[in-house]
Structure 1
Amino acid sequence: MAVQNTKAGIILMLGAVFTFAVQDGVSRLLADKYNVYLIVMIRYWFFALFVTVMAARSAGGLRRAVATSQPFLQSFRGVILIVEVLVTIYAFVVLGLIPTHAIFASYPLMIAALSGPVLGETVGPRRWLAIGVGFVGILIILQPGFAVFAPEALIAVAAALLFAIYGLATRYAARKDSAQTSFFWTGIAGVVAITAVGAFHWEPMERPDWIWMAMLCITGALGHYLLIRCYEVAEASAVQPFAYFQLVFVSIIAILFFGESIEWNVALGATIVVGAGLFTAWRERQKGRKVSGASALR
């Protein structure tokens, strides 16, 4: 059994979400000048190379990573993630980094709400209460019925829902496939899907912008590497709450480099959503401990 190091796991998680925040900032910058399909396609070419190298270096190599009894499900995961990335970057442009991430933070609550009907998991009354409170936070951010309501905010809601579906599909796939296999199929199925579309949206990129594109590719691969290392040294339930720091890092980048500001309703709503998400994560951890304890007694 691997030695757990929660402190190292927290540091790696913070490093990962900071890297992803930088990636989002660069995506926002490039999306102001170029179409989203081009940006995501080039990023995924590098990502596909990254997952292939990681699979080749792992136990069993590429043959083990490719092997799956559920290729349709794995392909669906890769495609749905590509769509989510496209929608999210588009939301960055039309809505802004801060509101998009504030709304996107609700995806764990969506996963919890859908885990019952989709995966057959039990969702207790306390978790349902947390889910309900979290969605009140989303309504505060959206401000439906007010003149300031931005319909573009629904794009961010769609992105969160797509990522929740991806998360549920990943959980379902994990019943038969290893994390290594799912990670490999995410990159390969995704690059095939985006290339099939993005190839028709190619446009020349100015030479200085290739530096930003390279940074986008590197931060994407580095963020995933740090996340993998994080889950290797610490329990997911112990480090997952620190993933919410991505909202903090993104907010700093948005304010410093894109002139965004934090509206009161976004700040309040995001606080409620994150609080509900942290409570849901805590309940899942408590439930996991009870299951582990019961298993140890058998």
Structure 2
Amino acid sequence: MSQSNNIPLGIGLMIATTFVFAVQDGLSRHLAGEYNVLMVVMIRYWFFAAFVIALARRNAGSIRAAAQTSQPMLQALRGLLLAAEICVMVAAFTILGLVESHAVFTCYPLLVAALSGPVLGEKVGWRRWMAIGVGFIGVLVILQPGIGVFEPAAAIPLLAAAMFAVYGLLTRFVSRQDTTATSFFWTGTAGAVAMTLVGLWFWEPMSGTDWIYMACLCVTGVTGHWLLIRCYEVAEASAVQPFAYFQLAFGAIIGISIFSEVIRTNVAIGAAIIIAAGLFTFWRERLQSRAD
């Protein structure tokens, strides 16, 4: 599909995407607080896989065509890694809340930049390394190691960010041979199979009200991914990616208004440092892409 470059529409779609994903995170926080995390993620993946299969049949013509790849092990690894990352992040929501989890997770673009050299062989200049270093200062401001008793749980969203960064790098790597449709198909189906094999062992009966919340969780998951696909279809990724940070703002609003969370001063300062470093990294990437 030839990509247009309607940046205002792309920005609007990205902001809408972050809002939907923030709502999804709020629903995940509630359900995972009541039921086992693995079961919640499993049911969410069932609907995600159904969406992916329907999309594959429409765009690729058949499931076989969408699944066709010369690197099935890497594609399966991507799907497994994303499923594991979602489980870790949802667990972080229940332990730390939305505000602090999202504040730490926002460092994942910096991790992608740092790992793109050793993993993909991309050149990372000194300016980006400085931005990465500044970003991790922001992470340390949030985690506050050495101040009082360090809470190990604070490192959970950092682990999720590292897993998501590796997933993103693997996605870049497989895209050298596979189409986006193929990668998206493997993301949904491999994750669904893995979560079903694990999650069924942790099945718990749910109340009628929570089944409604679960249905909303599944709908927001599908809607969010559809909006994200549309976003990247209508505008350049480098132009709209900085607006992904709106998810932190929306997540904080939901965490404060619904779950009575609070924003500690160090979390606000650390998140601002991470976002500034991330925006600088995006800006440098865009300058470099224009130079190329």
Which of the five TM-score ranges fits, normalised by the shorter chain?
Answer: over 0.9
* Alignment of structure 1 residues 1-298 onto 2, 5 Å: 1-147=2-148, 149-291=150-292
1:149 CA drift (Å)? 3.2
Deviation sequence 1:156-176 (CA, Å, 0-9, x none): 111111111111111111111
Distance 1:251 1:228 in 2: 25
Distance 2:70 2:37 in 1: 33
> What SS class does the counterpart of residue 98 from structure 1 fall into?
helix
Deviation sequence 1:269-293 (CA, Å, 0-9, x none): 00000110011011111111111xx
Mark the runs of 5 or more structure 2 residues left unpaired by the alignment.
none
Deviation sequence 1:217-264 (CA, Å, 0-9, x none): 000000000000000000000000000000000000000000001000
Deviation sequence 1:64-121 (CA, Å, 0-9, x none): 2110000000000000001100000000011111110000000010010011011100
Deviation sequence 1:176-197 (CA, Å, 0-9, x none): 1111100000000000000010
Distance 1:49 1:27 in 2: 19
Deviation sequence 1:38-74 (CA, Å, 0-9, x none): 1000000000000001111114432321100000000
- The one-letter code matched in structure 1 to 2:217 is L
Whether the 8 Å contact between 2:60 and 2:66 is mirrored in structure 1 is: no
Q: Quick check: 217-226 or 282-291, which moved more?
A: 282-291
- The one-letter code matched in structure 1 to 2:103 is A
Distance 1:59 1:233 in 2: 20
> What SS class does the counterpart of residue 34 from structure 2 fall into?
coil
Whether the 8 Å contact between 2:245 and 2:275 is mirrored in structure 1 is: yes
TM-score (norm 1): 0.96
1:3 CA drift (Å)? 3.0
- The one-letter code matched in structure 1 to 2:170 is A
Q: Quick check: 162-171 or 58-67, which moved more?
A: 58-67
Mark the runs of 5 or more structure 1 residues left unpaired by the alignment.
292-298
Aligned residues: 291
- The one-letter code matched in structure 1 to 2:7 is T
- The one-letter code matched in structure 1 to 2:77 is F
Q: What is aligned with 1:295?
A: none
C-alpha spacing 1:30/1:5, structure 2 compared with 1 (3 Å) = same
Q: Aligned-residue CA RMSD in angstroms?
A: 0.9
> What SS class does the counterpart of residue 32 from structure 1 fall into?
helix
Q: What is aligned with 1:294?
A: none
Identity of aligned pairs, percent? 60
Distance 1:248 1:128 in 2: 26
TM-score (norm 2): 0.98
Distance 1:4 1:236 in 2: 10
1:151 CA drift (Å)? 1.5
Instruction: Point out 4+ residue stretches in structure 1 off by more than 2 angstroms.
Output: 59-64
